[in-house]
Chains A and B, each alone.
Chain A
C-alpha cells in the first residue's frame, strides 16, 4: 500500500484561479516536502515542513504557500495560478534521522491554461 499519496493526480486550472494540491503520508515521518519538476529540469524544492503547523521555504517558494495541519498531511496552495506553474509536482516524506532517504508520491500533473 502506497505510503505517500497525492491528490489530484492531474489537474487543469485557469490562470488566476486557486489550486490546492494535497499530500498524505502514512510513514509517520516528521519531514515532508513539495517539489516541482519541469521538462528538462531536475526536481526543485518549493516548501518543506519538519513539524505540524509549521512550514519552511525551499529554493523556489514564490507564488506558493504550504500548509501542514497534521503530521500526515501537507498541502501546496497556488493562490493565483500562472502559466509558469505548469509542471509535475511531487510530495515526499522522510524521517528526521535519515532525511536523505525520501519517499515520494506518484506526482500531480498540473496544467495551467
Chain B
C-alpha cells in the first residue's frame, strides 16, 4: 500500500533559524499522487498548510515551501526563518483516488519546537 515517511520525533530549532522536515513517499497504485503538508497547532485540529498536485511544482504558504520531486519521491518542508508561533506538529500526506473517495495517507507527524 501507500506510505509516507517523515522526520521522526521532535525537531528543535532556534527562532530565526532555518528548518527542513524530510518527507518521502511511496505510492503503489498511482504514479503521481497529490502531496500535502498538514499542521496541527496546540489544542486545534489538523489544517492544510500546502498542497501540490503537479510533479516538479513548488507549493508555499505562511513562509513554508515544499517541492514535489518525483525522481526522489520526496516532498520536504522548508522554511528560511522560523518563529515561535510555528511550533506545532507537521504531517506529510499523499492522496490516492479510490472508488468513492480520495484516500489520504499520513506520515507519523513531526513535532517542531521553536525555542526563543
Contact = CB atoms under 8 A, between A and B. Distances in A.
B109 A90 contact: no
Contacts of A106: 43-45
Contact of A42 (B43, B47, B105): B105
A106 B43 CA distance: 6
Interface in B10-47: 34, 36, 40, 43-47
Given A103-B45, A106-B45, A42 B101 contact: no
B46 A104 contact: yes
Contact of A40 (B4, B36, B108): B108
Interface string A29-59: 0010000010011110100101000001001
Interface residues of B, number: 24
Among A42, A103, A105: residue with most chain B CB under 10 A: A42
Q: Determine the interface band of chain A, counting residues with CB < 8 A from chain B.
A: 20 to 34
B100 interface: yes
21 contacts: A4-B45, A31-B101, A41-B108, A42-B105, A42-B106, A42-B109, A43-B46, A48-B101, A56-B100, A92-B45, A99-B102, A100-B34, A100-B95, A100-B102, A101-B48, A102-B104, A103-B45, A105-B45, A106-B44, A106-B45, A107-B45
